[in-house]
């Protein structure tokens, strides 16, 4: 997905949020805003939002001298989600259709995203997503692909959301490789976040080799690209994967909530929708 003009104010707001998460004082925040204004003026809008967002957040980390501004927020999200884990497991165990409930929970967890300008009530979102209609619904094709696949490559999104992914992965009958980011960006999950969420007991862990949001293939390691190319079935979580993998073939399924008006419009669905979309 290309970058829309509406993304520019959002990048600037994200940069300011990032500087604050990094603990920058007012002068530091001002330096970040000034540099990001210059970066955005030079940015090539034919690139995807995560490619520009990668540069924005890299600049925030460099200027603030903080390699992982969202560390505290990520830990808090993981703790909050883990506290719900037993209840989530019961929801799946007691469901008439456990896989459907687990899939919905994994999408519910996608609300834990510190990129968009939104606040959320996590349990309220879980209740909504459990009964919400899918705005794009390739669940039947996904179930068929899961029945046929010998393994799944699962592309993670955010820390805390990881716990909800674990719920889905534990409901699958097929081995999963769970790929996180190669380094910190925004509140995206890294190996440490995946382990903290207990994913190491549910899947084989891997990373993209890149600290860019989403999955920008030419920025990923050759080891990850081999995983990606050889995968029979890819489950990709979240908006940034939608933005970077929207041209992926039919072996990829994008699972997300549309949390910003730009992505909602690009996908042709209302903001606040839940989506399972085959590539």
Tell me which residues touch a copy of itself (CB under 8 A).
Answer: 5-6, 8-10, 12-13, 16, 26, 29-30, 33-34, 37-38, 40-41, 45
- What is the spatial distance between Cα 122 and Cα 112, in angstroms, rounded to a whole number? 8
Smallest distance, a copy of itself to C-beta of residue 116, A = 13
| Spacing of C-alpha 162 from chain mean position | 9
Q: Which is nearer to a copy of itself, 100 or 271 (CB)?
A: 271
Q: Are strands 252-257 and 152-155 parallel, antiparallel or unpaired?
A: unpaired
Nearest-approach distance from CB 53 to a copy of itself, in angstroms: 14
By beta-carbon proximity to a copy of itself, the closer residue of 97 and 121 is 121
When the beta carbons of 45 and 175 are compared against a copy of itself, the nearer one is 45
Comparing CB distances to a copy of itself, the nearer of 13 and 195 is 13
**CB distance 60 to 32 below 8 Å:** yes
CA-to-CA distance for 51 and 213, rounded, in angstroms? 7
Closest approach, Cβ 69 to a copy of itself, in A, equals 16
Name the minimum Å distance from CB 140 to a copy of itself. Answer: 36
Return the residue matching tokens 């955005």.
40
CA distance 279 to 260: 20
- Decide whether 51 or 207 has the Cβ nearer to a copy of itself: 51
| Alpha-helix runs per DSSP H in the chain | 7-21, 26-42, 49-64, 71-93, 98-108, 122-131, 139-148, 161-171, 191-196, 222-230, 238-245, 261-267
Contact in structure between 262 and 128 (CB atoms under 8 Å)? no
CB of 235 to a copy of itself, least distance (A): 33
Contact assessment for residue 165 and residue 176, using Cβ atoms and an 8 Å cutoff: no
CB of 32 to a copy of itself, least distance (A): 9
Nearer to a copy of itself, 26 or 133 (CB): 26
């Amino acid at each position: 997905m290309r970058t829309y003009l509406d993304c520019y104010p959002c990048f600037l707001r994200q940069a300011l949020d990032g500087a604050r998460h990094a603990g920058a004082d007012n002068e530091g925040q001002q330096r970040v805003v000034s540099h990001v204004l210059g970066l955005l003026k030079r940015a090539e809008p034919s690139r995807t939002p995560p490619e520009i967002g990668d540069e924005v957040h890299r600049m925030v980390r460099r200027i603030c001298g903080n390699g992982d501004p969202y560390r505290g927020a990520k830990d808090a999200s993981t703790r909050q989600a883990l506290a719900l884990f037993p209840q989530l497991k019961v929801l799946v165990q007691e469901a008439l259709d456990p896989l459907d409930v687990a899939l919905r929970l994994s999408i519910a967890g996608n609300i834990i995203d510190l990129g968009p300008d939104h606040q959320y009530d996590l349990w309220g979102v879980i209740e909504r997503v459990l009964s919400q209609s899918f705005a794009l619904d390739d669940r039947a094709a996904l179930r068929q692909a899961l029945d046929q696949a010998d393994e799944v490559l699962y592309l993670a999104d955010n820390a805390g959301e990881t716990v909800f992914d674990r719920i889905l992965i534990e409901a699958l009958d097929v081995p999963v490789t769970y790929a996180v980011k190669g380094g910190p960006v925004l509140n995206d999950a890294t190996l440490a976040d995946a382990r903290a969420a207990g994913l190491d007991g549910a899947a084989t862990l891997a990373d993209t080799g890149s600290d860019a949001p989403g999955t920008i293939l030419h920025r990923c390691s050759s080891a990850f690209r081999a995983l990606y190319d050889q995968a029979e079935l890819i489950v990709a979580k979240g908006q940034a994967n939608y933005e970077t993998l929207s041209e992926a073939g039919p072996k990829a399924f994008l699972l997300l909530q549309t949390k910003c008006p730009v992505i909602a419009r690009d996908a042709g669905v209302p903001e606040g929708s839940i989506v399972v979309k085959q590539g």
